[in-house]
Amino acid sequence: MIERSEVMGQPEPALADHPSAPDPAPVPLSAVDAVARMASPESPVPAEAVPVGGGAAELPVNGYPGGLDTVSNATATPGDLQPYAELGLRDDEYDRIRQILRRRPTQSELAMYSIMWSEHCSYKSSKVHLRQFGEKAPPSDRMLAGIGENAGVIQISEQLAVTFKVESHNHPSFVEPHQGAATGVGGIVRDILAMGARPVAVMDPLRFGAADHPDTARVLPGVVAGIGTYGNSLGLPNIGGEVVFDACYQGNPLVNALCLGVLPVQRLQNKAAAGPGNVVVLLGAKTGRDGIGGVSVLASATFDDGSAQRRPSVQVGDPFMEKLLIEACLELYDAQLVVGIQDLGGAGLTCALTETAAAAGTGMRVWLERVELREASMQPHEILASESQERMLLIVAPEKLDAVLRIAEKWGVPASAIGEVTGAPEGSGPGRLLVTWQGHTVVDVPPGSLVDDGPVYARPMREPADLILLQADRAETLPRPATAEALRETLLRMIASPNLCDKTWVTEQYDRYVLGNTVLAQPEDAGVIRIDERSGLGVAISVDGNGRYTRLDPYHGAKLALAEAYRNVAVTGAKPVAVTDCLNFGSPEDPGVMWQFAEAVRGLADGCAELGIPVTGGNVSFYNQTGAAAIHPTPVVGVLGVLDDVAERVPMGFARTTGNDHDLIFLLGETRLELSGSEWAWVTHEHLGGVPPKVNLAAERSLAELIAEAARVGHLRSAHDLSDGGLAQALVESSLRHGVGARIALPEGFTAGSMPFVFLFSESAGRAMVAVPRGHEKAFTALCVERGVSWTLIGVTDTAGNELEIRDQFTIGLPELRAAHSATLPGLFGEGAATLAESVATGTSTPDAEPTGSDQGDTDPIVGTAPAGPDGADRAEPVGSDGAASAPAAGPAAAAGPDEAPAAPGDAAPATAASGDAARGAAASGDAASTTAANPDTATANPDEAASPSAATASPDAAAAGPDEAASPDAATASPDGAAGPDAAAAAGDAAPGAKVSGDGASSTAAGDQEAAARTDAGDRPTD
Amino acid sequence: MTARIGVVTFPGSLDDRDAARAARIAGAEVVSLWHDDPDLHGVDAVVLPGGFSYGDYLRCGAIARFAPVMGTIAAGARAGLPVLGICNGFQILCEAHLLPGALTRNQHLHFRNRDQVLRIESAGTAWTNAYQPGQEILIPVKNGEGCYVADERTLDELEATGRVVARYLGGNPNGSLRDIAGISNEAGNVVGLMPHPEHAVEALTGPSLDGLGFFTSILKHLAGVPA
């Protein structure tokens, strides 16, 4: 497949030595058995006998007397006018082709150059910028293959490597959503396959126009069904992705597809067509007229009113053939029957032939009539340009051809030997690609001239004129909710908004279980796949992008996308090691777009350098533009991380705890007033302006290292990245995942006016929310100190509570949250996702509110009160096996009480203490304890119990503080906003130097807090 | 002696490795069977796994039933060979007339993958004897054509003779009549099940371990332990 190349075009060195060959071809055939076996004639067929489809009148591109434009014909008729402009070539590009060939190109050659030199294939506008990925790349001893290959390959153990890449299929998916998206999956899967890997998972970052736009109702269901149909039929679990809506994508939806593959290190394949005499085999589906001109005409021009007529340019997928192709190729690799391999994607055979030859510096002799066709009337240029799916080009040693054909036959995959690798005509320099059709030479070109010598443009760039004004219009100045009621309404509105709502309607159309190695899948922050069943070795992957941020500041927006994907991988406990990217932009001919692109690439390259992880491959999609309106610049970044043992992965949902237990919820990182570009600004004010949140990659790195370490030693029960929608979104998602509520106290500095809103909805980067089992908090916070990550204890999980409480603000039951969160997409796109008969009958608008009950057996308390169901008779939710829930149904409040009460005196008792730590050290962790127990919920929920929790906390100061509400929030906030630092430092006791935890001085006062904390506890709990 | 369980791979089979893994976890020796080879290699029981055999561009399972291996399996099944068809395997068993009825396009027309609660209605088959009758289990369901249909008389007969093996609870994912998720033949050696027990055999990768019972059941059955 087409890949970006770092190599700049160089002047064709061998031009003078190789004048175009006369027709018929003089290149001698080596008399290899294998070749001799090939079906077709060696001897030229007389021209008059050639069936050329009925003569000149039917030739679609250009008519030639005699019906076929051969090399000799081209030489003889240098003045013929050719439709190069219609094929997307500029005057100077056409002139350059004539220069290279020293004649006019034949019809076939013109088609080949036009597609290979198109933006899509040649990266002519992006090359000069993409070089940074190589130049700035941090050293990596894991990378076995990088940019320029079909996909990057990363070694993850002595024996195993993984390969992954994300690619776009945007334009086809707008024209024909189902097939466009389906073949997008097919294409990226073949890229992965071509590296020698078994594809093991896919992910799909998707962006659509406004959720309620009528055309979105056409595009989205088609895209989702296409991805589902193709991926499901291949048996590849779909483990994550994105579904984003924004009016800017209305005419240009972004359908990106990522695939992950696994290979034993020694099975790594390459695409070089090495070894003159080797046979060129086309394996896979027959070649048809689908997708002709797809790359040049379709993907490299801005959409206009004629788009609807381009439907025939979209390829049609056959996932069954692809599945067979996968199995056949893997068997071929294992039997070591393949010298080189390349998938056929954009630019079809043209690309595969020229890239494989160019990679080896060899030439190639191809008999085009040996290509199996779906339509016998196809012309040479059509065969060369066809983008028929499910095809691979193999280079095979002649003596192994039989074995190759046998394996192909076993899997029922058509295979034909269509040519052979040749050396340089005069024994030196690169070879030539010589293609004949029924004995006539129709192509005679230096393969490198199509692959590497395409035009390269340093296109003009200019910062968009409106950017300064846009950045000055900050969302921080918008009116913010400042009352509890307004905040409550905002939360419900936000979690129901199209970008933040539950995406089950989409993701349940994808198989996430097949292959049996899916450890985490959507809606988790990252997908996690087990690679080695014995050792538990696995990888985590996430793909993220934020067009709004990038619109406001492409350099930092790209870094933010990188940071988010990196963080999403990190919160699973994985160590991020590599990056892939799909750069979706408008027209490169618009200087403003080009500037955005350059800035984004620079940001991404710098970001990768700062994080110490290389870009291993990806693709660029330009011309995502309808008329003058370009999409938001949208770099989508995929990060891959390694987990030594997937059993240690950290999921995002609050875990069910038994008995009286609950986990402590910590917010890691610092929350600032950062609302520009936020989901909130967009949803509630349709506002886009200001500058995006600050990005600090050093802090991201510390956070990642902290989480990986904490996960490894078992400090984390759950972890969730904070991004779009801020803490509020994370809390809701973590609560709804397993139906476990939470009680949150606002930290110091976030309690008054609109600050509670800021705390909940700011989108400051570098943050994560983690749940720590009781008893681990001291060690955990000490680790935070050691890693320089600021932490804030913000509350506790509440398994029995069945509600989310933001103390002093509001309490919302999980059923209400779930109803709001999950009704949006079914409401927009139909009840397909809702449970059938019953829901129709009862008019329930919410699809299976507790569909998965991911822990079996637990009867989700939600069940009883379930979703929006107007009549209490909501169909029974999937009830776990033990009706345990029915008991606590008594009510969250009541439940909360008893839950905490026993905990209090018993183990939460502060006194257990300090286990040798300085008293003040104890304070910090004790302060955690205090939050736990004294946490308002207990007190408020169950006044009678108040005594015990407060006792639990720290009797003395609770008492001192008077009302325990006062005591606990205090305690709770002891650590927030950087205050965490000193506090934690103290906690660590021994880790004294950690004192300046909070990194960049954001640490606020905290003095009082520390005191409070210190007072709060005499002690600490033992760790378990 | 370890029970030998054959797992058939048709072109387009997808959950064959998973079925093999589940059988192995349950303690069986797994033998891979190939669609084009009528020889069952002496296996004691057969699993027809999920997937899209031969692409299923025609009716699901309509081509697979004619595979060489299916001739042997059908004959064996009629003679008592235990056969479990999961998802596509269930479709193939219906197409092969080893089970009554048919599986049609999901009523809502979407492929759907979710964790599904089932009630084991019959613990009397070769594949369900490790469960208690009425036991509720949670295993993944994932299909595009899983809507079980049959005429009323057949449905009544299935119910009356205890051949409804499992039923969907808490929401029918595909519109199957009478919430039927799985059925058996009269003898109880052939079972078809739309959901995927093989994806609920490991805590790390499944929603539960509830699926393992199908595979321990067959071992029990083969060991001659009365159900």
> Is residue A164 domain-resident?
yes
Let me know whether A257 and A379 are in one domain: no
A662 to A476, A742, A987: CA distances (angstroms): 36, 9, 21
Residue A186 or A971, more confident: A186
Q: Which amino acid is at A846?
A: T
What's the pLDDT tens digit per position in A634-653?
Answer: 999 999 999 999 999 999 99
Q: What is the pLDDT of residue A290?
A: 80
> Is residue B121 domain-resident?
yes
When CB atoms are compared, the residue of B138, B142, B202 closest to A853 is B138
Touching B: A residues 64-83, CB under 8 Å: none
Q: Which residues of B touch A838 (CB under 8 A)?
A: 171-172
What's the pLDDT tens digit per position in A581-602?
Answer: 999 999 999 999 999 999 999 9
Q: Which residues of A touch B112 (CB under 8 A)?
A: 508-509, 833
Q: Which residues of B touch A873 (CB under 8 A)?
A: none
- Listing from the earlier edge strand, what are the strands of the sheet with A152-155? A143-145, A152-155, A160-168, A254-264, A198-208, A238-245
What's the pLDDT tens digit per position in A273-323?
Answer: 999 999 999 999 999 988 775 433 433 444 454 544 444 566 789 999 999
Q: What is the pLDDT of residue A851?
A: 35
Q: Which residues of A touch B140 (CB under 8 A)?
A: 513
Distance CA A343, CA A346 (A): 10
Q: Which residues of B touch A228 (CB under 8 A)?
A: 110-111
When CB atoms are compared, the residue of A321, A324, A876 closest to B170 is A876
In total, how many domains does chain B have?
Answer: 1
Question: Do the beta carbons of residue A295 and residue A187 sit within 8 Å?
Answer: no
Let me know whether A251 and A159 are in one domain: yes
In total, how many domains does chain A have?
Answer: 3
Let me know whether A509 and A643 are in one domain: yes
Could you say which DSSP state residue A248 is in?
A: G
Q: What is the pLDDT of residue B98?
A: 98
Distance CA A481, CA A673 (A): 14
Let me know whether A397 and A546 are in one domain: no
Mark yes or no for CB contact A509/B113 under 8 Å: yes
> Is residue B173 domain-resident?
yes
**Looking at the predicted structure, is the pLDDT value of residue A655 above 90?**
yes
Mark yes or no for CB contact A878/B116 under 8 Å: yes
When CB atoms are compared, the residue of B113, B202, B210 closest to A856 is B210
| pLDDT, average across residues A409-430 | 89
For residue A523, is the peptide bond before it cis, meaning its omega torsion is within 30 degrees of 0?
yes
When CB atoms are compared, the residue of A319, A324, A512 closest to B113 is A512
Residue A454 or A994, more confident: A454
> Is residue B154 domain-resident?
yes
Dihedral sign for Cα A212, A217, A218, A221, please: positive
> Is residue A554 domain-resident?
yes
Binding residues of A: 123, 165, 167-171, 190-191, 315, 343, 387-389, 581, 618-619, 621
> Is residue A695 domain-resident?
no
Residue A776 or A939, more confident: A776
What amino acid positions of A are annotated as catalytic residues?
120, 169
Confidence band of A956 (pLDDT split at 50, 70, 90): very low
Distance CA A627, CA A586 (A): 10
| pLDDT, average across residues B30-57 | 97
A213 CA: distance to closest CA in chain B (Å): 22
Tell me what the pLDDT averaged over chain B comes to: 96
Tell me what the pLDDT averaged over chain A comes to: 79
Q: What are phi and psi of B177, to 5 degrees?
A: -65, 140
Let me know whether A919 and A999 are in one domain: yes
Distance CA A394, CA A278 (A): 10
Q: Tokens 């801005």 label which residue?
A: A302
When CB atoms are compared, the residue of A509, A839, A852 closest to B207 is A852
Could you say which DSSP state residue B145 is in?
A: S
> Is residue B74 domain-resident?
yes
Distance CA A732, CA A803 (A): 10
Touching B: A residues 372-411, CB under 8 Å: 411
Residue A423 belongs to what domain range?
A: 84-117+270-454
Q: Residue B214 belongs to a domain with what CATH number?
A: 3.40.50.880
Best residue in A234, A320, A510, A836 to probe B by mutation, most B CBs within 10 Å? A836
**Looking at the predicted structure, is the pLDDT value of residue A36 above 90?**
no
Mark yes or no for CB contact A881/B136 under 8 Å: yes
Pairing outcome for strands A433-437 and A363-367: parallel
Terminal CA-CA length for chain B:
19
Overall residue count recorded for chain A in this entry: 1024
Q: Which amino acid is at A320?
A: F
Q: What is the pLDDT of residue A346?
A: 83
Distance CA A433, CA A422 (A): 9
Distance CA A891, CA A879 (A): 18
Residue B179 belongs to what domain range?
A: 4-222
| A822 inside 8 A of chain B by CB | no
Best residue in A513, A530, A646 to probe B by mutation, most B CBs within 10 Å? A513
Q: Which residues of B touch A323 (CB under 8 A)?
A: 11-12, 14, 52
**Looking at the predicted structure, is the pLDDT value of residue A573 above 50?**
yes
> Is residue A466 domain-resident?
no
What's the pLDDT tens digit per position in B46-96?
Answer: 999 999 999 999 999 999 999 999 999 999 999 999 999 999 999 999 999
Joined tokens for residue B103: 């599986």
**Looking at the predicted structure, is the pLDDT value of residue B100 above 80?**
yes
| A229 inside 8 A of chain B by CB | yes
What's the pLDDT tens digit per position in B4-23?
Answer: 999 999 999 999 999 999 99
| A854 inside 8 A of chain B by CB | yes
Q: Residue A527 belongs to a domain with what CATH number?
A: 3.30.1330.10
**Looking at the predicted structure, is the pLDDT value of residue A981 above 80?**
no
A992 CA: distance to closest CA in chain B (Å): 39
Distance CA A598, CA A311 (A): 32
Distance CA A664, CA A925 (A): 11
> Is residue A478 domain-resident?
no
Let me know whether A283 and A255 are in one domain: no
Joined tokens for residue A969: 């929030």
Question: Which residues sit opposite B223 in a β-bridge?
Answer: none
| A511 inside 8 A of chain B by CB | yes
Let me know whether A1011 and A956 are in one domain: yes
| pLDDT, average across residues A77-94 | 90
B3 CA: distance to closest CA in chain A (Å): 23
Q: Which residues of A touch B57 (CB under 8 A)?
A: 320
Q: Which amino acid is at A139?
A: P
Task: Please choose, from the candidates A603, A600, A555, A580, the residue with its C-alpha nearest in 3D space to the C-alpha of residue A126.
Answer: A600
Q: What is the pLDDT of residue A622?
A: 96
What amino acid positions of B are annotated as catalytic residues?
87, 196, 198
Task: Please choose, from the candidates A858, A156, A274, the residue with its C-alpha nearest in 3D space to the C-alpha of residue A540.
Answer: A156
Distance CA A970, CA A955 (A): 14
Let me know whether A309 and A410 are in one domain: yes
Q: What is the pLDDT of residue A313?
A: 62
When CB atoms are compared, the residue of B11, B21, B204 closest to A646 is B204
| A517 inside 8 A of chain B by CB | yes
For residue A24, is the peptide bond before it cis, meaning its omega torsion is within 30 degrees of 0?
yes
Confidence band of A377 (pLDDT split at 50, 70, 90): confident
Mark yes or no for CB contact A848/B172 under 8 Å: no
> Is residue A840 domain-resident?
no
Q: Residue A389 belongs to a domain with what CATH number?
A: 3.90.650.10
> Is residue B206 domain-resident?
yes
Mark yes or no for CB contact B171/A877 under 8 Å: yes
**Looking at the predicted structure, is the pLDDT value of residue A804 above 90?**
yes
Mark yes or no for CB contact A854/B115 under 8 Å: yes
